[in-house]
Chain A
Amino acid sequence: MATIESNSPAVAHADVHDHHEPQSFWRTYVFSEDHKTIAKQYLITGIIWSVIGISLSVMFRLQLGFPSMKMDFLRPILGTWIDESGKLDPDFYLALVTMHGTIMVFFVLTAGLSGTFSNFLIPLQIGARDMASGFLNMLSYWFFFLASAVMFGSLFIETGPAGGGWVVYPPLSALPQAHKGSEFGMTLWLISMALFIVSQLLGGINYITTVINLRTRGMSFSKLPLTIWAFFLTAVLGLISFPVLLSAALLLIFDRSFGTSFYLSEIYVNGEALPNVGGSPILFQHLFWFLGHPEVYIVLLPALGMTSEIIATNSRKPIFGYRAMIASMMGIAFLAFIVWAHHMFVSGMNPFLGSVFMFLTLIIAVPSAVKAFNYITTLWRGNIRFTPAMLFSIGLVSFFISGGLTGIILGNSALDIQLHDTYFVVAHFHLVMGAASAFGLLAGVYHWFPKMFGKMMNEKLGYIHFWLTFIGIYLVFFPMHYVGIAGFPRRYYAFTSYDFTKNIFADMNAFISLAAIFTFTAQWIFIYNFVNSIIRGRRATQNPWKSNTLEWTTPIVPGHGNWTGEIPAVYRWPYDYSKPGAKEDYIPQNVPYSQTLESNLPHENELISLEKEIEAQNLNDQFKQPH
């Protein structure tokens, strides 16, 4: 193995600096193999996508909140999707809903969140020069970029983008003759998703390999920050589940273009009986949700991981129950694979399966509850500094609880009969997965901005951004539960066709729409702050949050390879905050126990003898190995 051959330090030192010759503009900023640059590429692409994704939701909220509104003012953007009388086209309404879901779930909260922070933080927090394969990492971003380009392009074609809901259930999505949104837009959707999945797999393999192989000396799994645990488990989830979505998409492509019958059977559409028999639409649902449910955790776990780190740092307290947190994340990651069919209780699958999945689903509530309690206990008797990142983390915990609790109702198959596909579900998952993960993303940006750009973000603007967003999101999604309990089905263009939805909650829907517009507007504060701080922000200090993890031992703006000298060794867990006896209220991971005799716990004094052993370990430095 390469690591063994490179053991001689003399040889190694000779090529240390070989990698540092300046590279061209293209190689530095565009086709970069540096994890920090790739992370920023992901972040900025994610922010652009989120503006697009949320704008789409504002458009359909206008339709739902103000059904009689003349939308002529949108014609410059939407063209003929606004008809002569100023009404939004119902087909395009469905396209908006579909694209909002696809963009937010995959392009913002999967790529934008996990892509940004896994790339940025894994090497920095485990003490590695870069990802295991910089080249694959670069490919991963550019596959994502291609997927983005295709998806973005699909917004502008004549028949409109995909329109069968983000779950694209066949036969609707398989039959171009059944729906405008199943024509060329759907083909582009499938191509884009296939590219996206390739990107996710390349990224995931890299994250896993890096965490397993490139940890610095002393960084055992039991000393990993919870962020890294979260990214690691997320990558494992993605690696196992995304290929299943790819297979679902491929079979759908076959059904659409090559006349197969994987999902099609006994269909009479547009005056014609199709020859396809023997397929099953339920098959697609199983395949889709085998990804779709883990996807919820792919989106949520990184946010929870970062929140653990931020809450501990800013409470100046160790995270409560470090091991319990890891165990519950592992539990969630495992259970995430065996609960998918709770999305399908009334799909017509065997009710016995429904019973099984109900039991499994409600088990997953237990580790989730443990996590919530642990966060709350971490705050208890802390010494809390409300940085913007901390505010967003507390907001995340609140959303995670509020949205998670309604999951107990929806996971109960008997209660799901009535609530399935109503606004109750929409409110539930927007709180627990949408808003919570988005808050994780924002918290992460506020917290690691100094490390990314060497500048500080403006806190005051951060506070205003937080309060407006936090209040706004509750105002959007709390009342939405009521609409759901009243039975309003989701993905309805208008509620005027039924007595049970006519004439009621028009004001509530208007209110929700106003709150949504308000919340969206508040995000411009963030965007202004983000851009302005990159340009004009106050210069960051070495360790602005007085945090323990390794990224704060790098130079203020880490260069290629992250550390200028040797990578620091790690001696302790990342949560030694406010340790009794210690001078400061934090002790970074790279401080050996031999230097903190005054604060060591009895069992930690025994660990002093292991320090020599840790220091003697292989440097595990990519730059010191011949490739």
Chain B
Amino acid sequence: MIYIVAILSVIFLGLAALVVSRMAAVVKNANGANDSEFSVTSNRINGVLFLVFFIVGLIGAVWSFMYARQFFLPEASSPHGRRTDFLFWLSMGIITFAFVVTNALLFIFAWKYQHKEGRRAAYYPENHKLELIWTVIPAVIMAVLVFTGWRAWRDIMAEAPENSQVFEIVGKQFNWIVRYPGVDNNKLGAYNYKLIDNANDTGIDYTDEASFDDFTSTTELHIPVNKPILLKIRARDVLHSVFIPHMRVKMDAVPGMPTRFAFTADKTTDEMRNITGNPNFGYEIACTEVCGRGHFSMRIRLIVEDEATWQAWCKEQKPLLSSTPELASRIPANLKAKAAKYLEGAAAPSDSTTASVQQGGVNVVSAATIR
């Protein structure tokens, strides 16, 4: 661990010392006699240093990559992630090749064609054929990369399949809140940002009966394995961005504009523990759009489990309405009966005070109806 620092520092101090000592020597030699704009010795040293830099740099690059590789994220836990991983390493291979070749030419030419007394540079102002070749080759390679990338992008961003399990994730300063659609109707109820308060931190609208069985969590998101997942993403206050590194999922959460990301997780948390050999492994969701002071700590855990376990877990959860019975006051009279089963034990307060309608994803609230 510490040795990467040590070794690289040594290489780098060595190089620095080399430069300084050679330069000092040159300064000594140059003192007095040579006062022209141009010193042959320093020119040679600089030429050689380019070559040295290239060779040492290349060794350093290869070695540091081998070292760093162990810390890269393990293989993706989603099929689309493996596809983009493949494309990433494919592109990486191509650009590494280009990187080495072009830098090699640059540094080798710099060394090889350094000034020599009496030699004259070639007068070589243009060559259309060459220009054409190096326009077309990058263009073709780029076209291939773009095309494969575009197909992946199109598939990843396609509409989620009908049978997707829907979850909602809401960003706020500074944590995520997930809302589950509930076990009874498996549908997310409507929401409205004006209904948000301490008891109802995602603004669930209880005039929609689909809301009654919804439950929320600020600590973990449980999802079933091998089932298409549709994350509905929104933000309460400022921009956030849902980032699930191991799933290769990222999408901004935007106040006033719901976004979504569809993916399938195909390795459960337990499987990943085996694969990584880390008994404490857990999937995580992070925020990648700067959102203020606590931006770096918006962690929420993601638990992937087989469907049976997941369903059993969901059944154990209490709908928000049951755990926070005061929300019952927001249920309109005609739906009271349907809500009754979630309010067992808690006496439902009487009249309704709120009303809102959701139209095509946009909430329209008449100010008068709000409290």
Of A400-408, A549-557, A616-624, the segment with at least 4 beta carbons within 8 Å of chain B is A400-408
State which of B112-120, B319-327, B350-358 sits at the interface with chain A: B112-120
- Least Cβ–Cβ distance between A437 and chain B, in angstroms: 18
Contact status A94-B251, CB under 8 Å = no
Residues 30 to 75 of chain B near chain A (Cβ within 8 Å): 30, 35, 37-39, 42-43, 45-47, 49-50, 53, 57, 60-61, 64-65, 68, 71-73
- Give per-residue flags for A360-384: 1 if the beta carbon is below 8 A from chain B beta carbons, else 0: 0011011001101111110111111
B156 engages A369 (CB within 8 Å): no
Cβ-defined contact, A347 with B252, below 8 A: yes
A195 to B291, CA, bound (A): 27
Q: Could you say which residues of chain A place their CB within 8 Å of the CB of B38?
A: 385
Q: Is there contact, CB below 8 Å, between A315 and B42? A: no
Query: Whole-angstrom distance between the alpha carbons of A279 and B134 in the complex?
Result: 46
Q: Which of A116-124, A302-310, A391-399, A590-598 contacts B (4 or more CB under 8 A)?
A: A391-399
Q: Is A280 a contact of B284 with CB atoms below 8 Å? A: no
> Given A418-B248, A486-B71, A508-B68, are A384 and B5 neighbors across the interface (CB < 8 Å)?
no
Known contacts A171-B255, A280-B256, A497-B297; is A381 also within 8 Å of B124 by CB? yes
| Residue B210 is within 8 A (CB to CB) of chain A in the complex | no
Question: What B residues does A372 contact at CB under 8 A?
Answer: 102
Whether A494 touches B296, Cβ cut-off 8 Å, given contacts A355-B154, A577-B121, A578-B123, is yes
**Contact flag A491-B259 (CB < 8 Å), given A273-B193, A460-B26, A508-B4:** no
Given A178-B173, A412-B145, A381:B95 Cβ within 8 A: no
Q: Does A15 contact B (CB under 8 A)?
A: no
Q: Is A91 in the interface zone, CB < 8 Å from B?
A: yes
Beyond A324-B131, A459-B39, A471-B12, is A492–B295 a contact (Cβ under 8 Å)?
Answer: yes
* Interface size grouping (class) on chain B: 35 or more
- Chain B residue with the shortest CB-CB distance to A456: B37
Contact indicator B5/A511 (Cβ below 8 Å): yes
Selected from B135, B149, B252, the residue in CB contact (under 8 A) with A346 is B252
Shortest distance from the beta carbon of B291 to any chain A beta carbon, whole Å: 6
B153 A383 Cβ-Cβ under 8 A: no
In the bound assembly, the distance between CA atoms of A315 and B121 in angstroms comes to 7
Which residue of the partner chain B has the closest CB to A522?
Answer: B16
Which of A184-192, A217-225, A498-506, A560-568 touches B? A498-506
Query: Is B110 in contact with A384, judged by CB distance below 8 angstroms?
Result: yes
Q: Mark B225-268, 1 if CB is under 8 A from A, else 0.
A: 00000000100111101010110111110111101000000000
Chain A: minimal CB distance from B280 (Å):
7
Determine which of B27, B152, B249, B284 lies in contact with A414 in the assembled complex, contact meaning CB atoms within 8 Å.
B152
Closest chain B residue to A458, Cβ basis: B27
Give the chain B neighbours of A135 by CB distance below 8 A. none
Tell which of A4-12, A251-259, A333-341, A473-481 binds the partner: A473-481
Q: Are A478 and B250 also in contact (CB < 8 A) when A94-B293, A169-B289, A379-B110 are?
A: no
A172 x B239 contact (CB < 8 A) = yes
On whether the beta carbons of A383 and B121 are closer than 8 Å, the reply is: yes
| Interface membership of B139, Cβ < 8 A | yes
Contact of A413 among B153, B236, B245 (CB under 8 A): B153
Check B257 against A280 for contact (C-beta < 8 Å).
Answer: yes
Chain B residues with CB below 8 A from A181, complex form: 292
Inter-chain contact A320/B290, CB cutoff 8 Å: no
Kindly supply a per-residue 1/0 record for chain A positions 585-610, scoring 1 wherever the CB is within 8 Å of any chain B CB and 0 otherwise: 10000000000000000000000000
| Residue in A closest to B73 when the chains form the complex, CB atoms | A487
Whether A46 is near chain B, meaning CB under 8 Å from some CB there, is: no
- Measured in the bound complex, the distance between the Cα atoms of B245 and A498 in whole Å is 11
Partner of A383, one of B115, B233, B284, B298: B115
B1 close to A414 (CB less than 8 A):
no
Kindly state the separation between the CA atoms of A172 and B241 in the bound complex, as whole angstroms: 13
A472 to B87, CA, bound (A): 31
Choose the segment among A104-112, A236-244, A262-270 that binds chain B (4+ C-beta atoms closer than 8 Å). A262-270
Of B71, B138, B142, B246, the residue contacting A504 (CB under 8 A) is: B71
Q: Are A355 and B125 in contact (CB under 8 A)?
A: no
At the interface, yes or no: B313 with Cβ under 8 Å from chain A? no
Contact A585 B19 (CB under 8 A): no
Residue from A383, A460, A479 in contact with B116 in the complex, judged by beta carbons closer than 8 Å:
A383
In the complex, A552→B144 CA distance in Å?
Answer: 47
Interface of B (DSSP majority class): helix
Contacts of B27 in A (CB 8 A): 460
A264 and B256 contact, Cβ closer than 8 Å, known pairs A386-B42, A408-B95: yes
A window 76-106: CB within 8 A of B = 90-91, 94
Q: Within 8 Å of chain B (Cβ to Cβ): is A58?
A: no
Complex interface: chain B residues within 8 A of A580 (CB): 123
- In the bound complex, CA of A499 to CA of B237 (Å): 26
User: Does the CB pair B8–A511 fall under 8 Å?
Assistant: yes
A420 near B288: Cβ-Cβ < 8 Å: yes
Indicate which residue in B91, B106, B156, B250 contacts A379 across the interface (CB closer than 8 Å): B106
Nearest opposing residue in chain A for B22, CB measure: A463
- Interchain CA distance A169-B123 in the complex, whole Å: 51
Cβ–Cβ contact A414 & B102, under 8 A: no
How long is the Cα–Cα vector from A459 to B297 in the complex, in angstroms? 49
Q: Are A318 and B125 closer than 8 Å at their CB atoms?
A: yes
Question: Hey, which chain A residues are within 8 Å of B65, CB to CB?
Answer: 482
In the docked arrangement, what's the CA distance between A322 and B126, Å? Answer: 7
Q: Which of A319, A412, A538 has the most chain B CB atoms closer than 10 A to its own CB?
A: A412
Given contact pairs A422-B288, A507-B4, A479 touches B84 in the complex (Cβ within 8 A): no
Within 8 A of B (CB), among A502-527: 504-505, 507-508, 510-511, 514-515, 518
Given contacts A359-B150, A366-B138, 17 further A-B contacts (CB under 8 A): A91-B292, A170-B238, A171-B238, A264-B256, A321-B126, A370-B131, A370-B138, A383-B113, A383-B115, A384-B110, A384-B115, A402-B99, A467-B15, A471-B15, A500-B73, A505-B68, A508-B4
Closest 4 CB pairs of A and B: A265-B256, A351-B157, A482-B68, A348-B259
22 A-B residue pairings within 8 Å (CB atoms)? A91-B292, A267-B256, A268-B236, A269-B237, A279-B256, A355-B150, A358-B146, A373-B130, A382-B109, A382-B121, A401-B98, A401-B103, A405-B98, A408-B145, A415-B84, A417-B249, A420-B288, A464-B19, A471-B53, A478-B61, A514-B5, A578-B120
B residues in contact (CB < 8 Å) with A: 1-2, 4-5, 8-9, 12, 15-16, 19-20, 23, 26-27, 30, 35, 37-39, 42-43, 45-47, 49-50, 53, 57, 60-61, 64-65, 68, 71-73, 81, 83-84, 87-88, 91-92, 94-95, 98-99, 102-103, 105-107, 109-110, 113-116, 119-127, 130-131, 134-135, 138-139, 142-143, 145-146, 149-150, 152-154, 156-157, 172-173, 193-194, 196, 203, 233, 236-239, 241, 243, 245-246, 248-252, 254-257, 259, 280-282, 284, 286-299, 363
